Amino acid sequence: MCCHRGLNDIQLDTPYREGGWTARQVVHHVADQVTPTLIFASRLALTEIWPTIKPYDQAAWANLADSRGLPIGGSLAIIKGLHERWVALLESLSEEDFHKGYNHPESGGKPWQRCWLCHAWHARHHTAHIAGLRASQGW
């Protein structure tokens, strides 16, 4: 996520749309998302036979005090570190590994290869929220 550079606390605490999360909450949300999805769910999918993962309430997590007020540096470090591990893991996979997957209680079976494609979309989606906020505010 590169769209945070030069943003002060007031800007980070500005929602990207009316009723939406603040830029700060978006950064913390992406860090929250990479931990259960990139690390936990993907590693379960690669080491167990179609395990069932536990979803989490993203909105509730985004409204916890740390997501609303903590500086974003720690979450950016989490995102960077987990993406480095993610790339190393992807490069090590066999063709067979890409056909493994997990069961999501709300949306059913998900092939593991779809997991990383969804994550890539998710990160770009939220980066666009922050970039759009910057553009609309002239930051």
Query: Sign of dihedral through CA atoms 2, 27, 15, 126?
Result: positive
* pLDDT computed for residue 1 by the predictor: 45
- Taking only the tens place, the pLDDT of each residue in 51-76 is 999 888 999 999 999 999 999 999 99
Q: Does domain 28-137 have CATH number 1.20.120.450?
A: yes
Taking the C-alpha atoms of residue 65 and residue 101, their distance in angstroms, rounded to an integer, is 33
Question: Which residues have a Cβ under 8 Å from the Cβ of 130 and sit 6 or more positions away?
Answer: 1, 3, 4, 16, 23, 26, 27
Residue 84, Cβ neighbours under 10 Å: how many? 10
Domains in the chain: boundaries: 28-137
CA angle 58/29/114 to nearest 5° reads: 80
* pLDDT computed for residue 10 by the predictor: 96
| Partners of 103 in beta bridges | 52, 109
- Taking only the tens place, the pLDDT of each residue in 64-115 is 999 999 999 999 999 999 989 988 998 999 999 989 999 999 989 988 878 7
The mean of the pLDDT values for the chain is 91
CB 137 within 8 A of CB 125: no
* pLDDT computed for residue 4 by the predictor: 57
Strands in the chain per DSSP E: 101-104, 108-111
Taking the C-alpha atoms of residue 9 and residue 42, their distance in angstroms, rounded to an integer, is 34
Q: Check: pTM over 0.85? Answer yes or no.
A: yes
Residue 93, Cβ neighbours under 10 Å: how many? 14
Residue 32 pLDDT class (50, 70, 90 cuts): very high
* pLDDT computed for residue 117 by the predictor: 84
